[in-house]
Amino acid sequence: MTVAGSYSCVTKTPMGPMESTFTVTVDGTSFTGTNTATVGSMDVIDGKVDGQSLTWKMEMTKPMPMKLDCKATITGDQLIGSVKAGVFGSFPMIGTRAG
């Protein structure tokens, strides 16, 4: 099964759970997409695909500017991953394929 698609996600942050829609568009071993939440949208930067595993970066602007390092594994319709926010540590991200 392809990792491409749209996922309804929750990232558990120190500010509480952040719900978002994460879209993945695959092109060979790379991918593009966005992670859209109520606080705004972040584009995928340097998205890589290795089988069912994804790695990418995002640049957060709210509540403060910060580069995020992300990784996830897609198993069936489930996404399990993490978002590393610099000195603030790593936060779990889970999701389910939407539609």
Please tell me the distance from the alpha carbon of residue 4 to that of residue 39, in angstroms, as a whole number.
24
Please tell me the distance from the alpha carbon of residue 98 to that of residue 91, in angstroms, as a whole number.
22
Q: Of residues 14 and 8, which shows the higher confidence score?
A: 8
Task: Please give the pLDDT value at position 38.
Answer: 86
In degrees and rounded to multiples of 5, residue 11 shows phi and psi of: -110, 125
Please tell me the distance from the alpha carbon of residue 84 to that of residue 69, in angstroms, as a whole number.
5
Please tell me the distance from the alpha carbon of residue 44 to that of residue 25, in angstroms, as a whole number.
10
Q: Read off the pLDDT of residues 32-46 as tens digits, 9 standing for 90 and up.
A: 999 999 888 999 999
Please tell me the distance from the alpha carbon of residue 40 to that of residue 37, in angstroms, as a whole number.
5
